Structure formats: structure tokens, C-alpha cells
Structure 1
Amino acid sequence: MKVVRLYEYGGPEVMKVEEDRRPIAGIHEVLILVQAIGLNYAEVQMRKGTYPYPLGLPAILGQWGVVAGIVVGIGDGVTHVEVGMSVITQVPQGSYAEYVVVPALFILPAPKEITPAQATALLTQGQTAYHTLKFAGRIQFGDTVLIHAAAGGVGSLAVQLAKALHAGKVIATVSTPTKQELVRSLGADIIINYSEPNWIQQVLDHTEGKGADIVLEMVGGQILEGSLRALAPFGRLVYFGSASASTEKWDFVNLLQVLENKSIIGFNIAHFLTSFPELAKEGLEHLYELVSMNRLNPVVKHIFPLVNASEAHALLESRQTVGTVVLQP
């Protein structure tokens, strides 16, 4: 089978497509024929060596990656999974492969209403969007929600979920004018280009000077600093990543701004899924319900063959993508 392996940190060119032995399901494990692999920006940072939790090299890419596929083998002790089932799952290590073996407890039936490529958006990106709003952001009826990078994998889902969770106003920011039509079609009330120097003032103008009740922030750098200024008193800024992080440092903010009765809440989806399994189960059930009601539609605009994973990474790193980027073996 083909895999994408990393021997050193660097640009997309360091990713190597290789042949590897097809794995075998062990006790309490399931073997999956992979149909789609959902990419996350954190994997770009892992490849570059800027992620806070570095990979041990060499390694097949895709730490806690999401795949959709078909069960083709089950190990001893597995009772709730059958060969032929269409499933989605998170792979603790090595999702960039034609076959993966995962613990049976990680297996979930795939929604029938969407494609395997769309299904990959639900586990990590969908759960991140849902729980940054509901659990970390504590969204209330009528809240104004500011969502950065709203055309991305998490952002495009968060715009739809904020509306479904009864936000009063959704302000979406994007990095280029070409992404505005997408977020408008997803239900955003106000759209701002955060590359414009006055984007903070635009947020304040659209909230009568108050600021947003919830800010979802994963860009980092100056956007993180500005987001605190655009946050309302007693508002919640949920910080769940930093696409602009460098090798030398992560993000730091002037904590004096917190003394203006503002909260910064950190969120890590991998930690959340392992520490709060019941809440994760509840979140996924709600996501499935919204999909079945056609109130949540994962956006997939970019699909690459597995062997072109380096091209997918290059596009993802260029910030020119919309929705979820998917690899198909």
C-alpha cells in the first residue's frame, strides 16, 4: 500500500510517497480501506516542525488524522463493527495511507447523507467548530460571534453552527475577497477582510461599539492581538490554534487587556476528545442531526490523490483553500 512518510521537517517537498506493508488488525482493532483523508492545518505545522507537539521522525503523516472508509478486517474481541461498514474514525498516527488500523472504540458509522470526503470534516473540524462555540465559548441566544478564517475547514462549519445554535449575528472574516461569497452563502451576516488595517473598527462599528461576545481565533499573531480589542466586555475569545506560528515562538498577548473583563479560553480538540468522551459523543450526535436536517453541509472544494499530498499541503499553506482539503487514495 502507499503511504506518505516524513523523514525531516521542511516544505511540502520533504513528503515522500512510499510503498509499505498492509497492516493487520490486532485484538480489539479494525482494518479500514481508506476512501478519504481530511487534512488539517496543524498537519502543515507538524510537517514544518512548528507544531507544539512535534512528531517523532520518521513517521507517516497524519497524527490524529481523520479518515472515512470501509471496514475490511476486524481483530479478535471486536463485536460492534462488521466488515463492509462505512465508517469515519480518527487515526492516532499515520492517516496518510491506503489502509489504516485503529482501535475499534474509535469507529463511528459514517452519515449516509454526505460523501466520504465531506464526512472527514466532522470529526476534527466539525467537533472543533461545535465545541469552541458551545462548550468553550458558552454561546447564548442572541450572541454576536466573530469567526476568523471563516472560509476554512473549521470556519466554514462554525459559521453554519453559530446560526444553528441561535447566534444573533455572525461576523465572518476572510483573507481574500474571493472567499466572501462562500461565507455569505453559509449564512454570515457581516463579512470583513481581516487583511484590511481597519478590520477591528469594522467589527466595533457593526456591534455599536461593544465588540463581539464570542471570538473564534486560530490565525494568531496580530489577528489574535486585534481580536482582544474587538471582544466585548465579559466576552470569550476561544484560542484554538495559530496558523501564523513560526519555529521560534508561539503567540503571546498583552494580558492587561484581560483586565477589561475579557476572557481568553484555550481549546485543543485532541485533548478534548480524549478527556471528555461523553461531550464529544453528544457533539457528534448533534452534528449528525444537523447534517440530516440539511442545516450543516461540510464544504469540500479541493480533492487530491494521495500521491499528490505535497501539492495539497502547498495549497493549504498558501491560504488559498476554502473548506476542507481532502486526499483520496
Structure 2
Amino acid sequence: MIAIRFDRFGGPEVLTVVDVPRPRPRPGEVLITVEAAGVNFADIHQVDGSYLDAGALPHIPGSEVVGRTEDGRRVLARVSHGYAQQAVAKESALTEIPEDLDAGAALALLVQGLTAWHLLRTAARIRAGETVVVHSAAGGVGTLAVQLARQFGAGRVWAQASTPGKRRLALDLGADAAVGYPLAERADVILDAVGGELFDSALDSLAPGGRLVSYGNSARTGFTPVDPARLGRLNAAVVGFWLRPTLAAPGAFTGPLRELLSLTAHGSLKPVVHPAYPLAEARRAHEDLVARRTVGKVVLRP
């Protein structure tokens, strides 16, 4: 079986194509023949050692796949080693999906879709009529957050993206404007995955009672210290968000994912999927994701 593995920490260059034995499911697990595997920033952190220690090496990354079980079901699944032709998942980690749903679109709804849903509903607690700003609006989370903010009743949705093409994409997805900083008007909710100077600028752009939700640090410049007195003067809040503990709460996974799948089936939500990379080109997929050369969901196809 072909898989992508790394034996030491580093950049994308440590990812190599290897031939490994087919995984064997244990009781309560199923074997999945992979149709597509999702690529996430968490995979990049695993490769550079941010998420794993040396005792976990060698390691096959990948936390999500679409594929088919041995009894013929087409499923979206949470896994531990998805960059491979086959993967094992717990039966409880499977969600059956329709045959006509694009694999990339389905993968977009798992990590990125649930992140966008919970950023708006759980972390920001969006209210009808509020102004929402989405940083990295052409990315996997951003493209969905722009659309979901509108679905959840936002009065205005502003998108921030790095290139004219990405800003046009955000406008096509329903953003009212593609904006830069500093903002000309105050925003009630700002979703930030960048950190650094953009986080600091966004904090000054909050309306009274506004919420700045931080869910990443793609700038990799360290986090800006937040002075409580500054928050007091703004009458605002900074909310940190991480999907993994959020999904541990009762009802945090199945209901939101079912809603995302329903919105997609009815055409109200349109996941954006970057052209797929062959599994053997996982290194290039990582390089492009880090360099912000991708839009929407990034996937590998065996």
C-alpha cells in the first residue's frame, strides 16, 4: 500500500512516498479504501514537530478521508493516518455521505466546516444584523465562514484576503465587500487565523461589545499580548478557539455536521475545493498551502 510518511521533523521536504503494509482494523474499527484525503494546517504542524514528539516517528499524517468501507458504504471519516491508499477508522467516526457529493466538498465540511460553524455560533455567538469580518476569506475556513455568516443572519459580511483574485472569490461567495485595514467602520465579530500585526489591527477595529475570535497564527510571528485594560476601554472580548476540545462537548459534532451537509445538499452552502493533488505530491500541497497559493479546501487523491 502506498502512503506518505515522514521519519524526521522539518518542512514539506521530509514527506516521502513509501510502501507500507495495509492497516488492520481492530474490533470496532473499519477499513476504508481512500477516495480523497484532506490536508489541514494541523498536518503541517505535525510535520514540523509542533504537534508530535520524536517518539511518534515515523508517522503518516492525515486526519480525514472520504472513501468506501468493505461493505460498500461511502463515508466521510475521521482517521489518524489518512495520507494513504487505505486507512482505518472507528465505526463511531464515520458519517455516510451521498454518492453525488464531491469528495473534496465533503472533506471541506469536516474540519473547516465545523470550525467555521463553531467560530460563529459557539465562540462569537453571532447575533442577527451584526457586522462580521473574515480574515483569510479565500481559505478553507474563510470561504465557508463568509457564507455561513450570511446564513446565520449577519447584517454585513466583510472579507479580507491577500490578492485581487481571492478578494473576488470572497465577493462571489456573498461578502458585501473585500476590505483592508484599518477598517473604515467598526465590526461586531472578527474571525482571525493570521495573528501578528493583523490581530493587533483587528482589535482596534472592534465595535463596543465586539468579539475578536483567534483560531490560528498563520503569520507565525508569535501572539500579541493583550492588555485587559485595553479590552475594558473597547468594551470588547478576545476569544480563543480550538476545534478539538470544542467537538468533545455533547452535540457539538453530529448536529452541526448534519446542518452543513443539508445546506450543501440544498445549494445554500458551496464548499470551495482547490484542484486536487495526487497523493504522491503531498509535499507540493503542503508547500502551496503554507505559501497561500491555494483557495478553499486542499485534498489529496490516491
Question: Does the pair score TM above 0.5?
Answer: yes
Q: Do structure 1's residue 313 and structure 2's residue 302 form an aligned pair? A: no
What do the CA deviations read for 1:52-106 (whole angstroms, capped 9, x no partner)? x3353221112xx11111012xxxxxxxxxx101100111x21111111111100
Secondary structure, counterpart of 1:69 in structure 2: strand
Q: Give the Cα separation in 1 of the matches to 2:100 and 2:261.
A: 9
**Using a 3 Å threshold, how does the CA distance of structure 1 residues 130 and 99 change in structure 2: closer, same or farther?**
same
Offset at residue 112 of structure 1 (A): 4.4
**Using a 3 Å threshold, how does the CA distance of structure 1 residues 325 and 113 change in structure 2: closer, same or farther?**
same
Aligned twin of 2:254: 281
Aligned twin of 1:28: 28
Q: Do structure 1's residue 157 and structure 2's residue 144 form an aligned pair? A: yes
What do the CA deviations read for 1:93-145 (whole angstroms, capped 9, x no partner)? 21111111111100001244521121111110000001100111101111100
Aligned twin of 1:234: 209
Q: Give the Cα separation in 2 of the matches to 1:46 and 1:226.
A: 29
Aligned partner of 1:251 among 220, 223, 238: 223
Q: Give the Cα separation in 1 of the matches to 2:250 and 2:161.
A: 32
Aligned twin of 1:80: none
Aligned twin of 1:54: 52
Q: Give the Cα separation in 1 of the matches to 2:285 and 2:22.
A: 24
> One-letter code of the match for 2:107?
T
TM-score normalised by structure 1 residue count: 0.87
Aligned twin of 2:96: 109
TM-score normalised by structure 2 residue count: 0.95
Q: Give the Cα separation in 1 of the matches to 2:28 and 2:46.
A: 29
Q: Give the Cα separation in 1 of the matches to 2:269 and 2:163.
A: 24
What do the CA deviations read for 1:269-290 (whole angstroms, capped 9, x no partner)? 11212x2141221111111121
Query: Which stretch shows the higher mean deviation, 179-188 or 53-62?
Result: 53-62
Secondary structure, counterpart of 2:36 in structure 1: strand
Aligned twin of 1:147: 134
Aligned twin of 1:120: 107
**Preserved CA contact (<8 Å) 1:111 1:288:** no
Q: Which runs of 5+ in 1 are unaligned?
A: 73-82, 194-198
Q: Give the Cα separation in 2 of the matches to 1:119 and 1:37.
A: 10
> One-letter code of the match for 1:190?
A
Give the length in aligned residue pairs. 298
Q: Give the Cα separation in 1 of the matches to 2:144 and 2:187.
A: 19
Offset at residue 223 of structure 1 (A): 1.0
Q: Do structure 1's residue 84 and structure 2's residue 72 form an aligned pair? A: yes
Q: Which runs of 5+ in 2 are unaligned?
A: none
**Preserved CA contact (<8 Å) 1:71 1:84:** yes
Q: Give the Cα separation in 1 of the matches to 2:88 and 2:201.
A: 43
> One-letter code of the match for 2:78?
Q
Aligned twin of 2:39: 39
Aligned twin of 2:16: 16
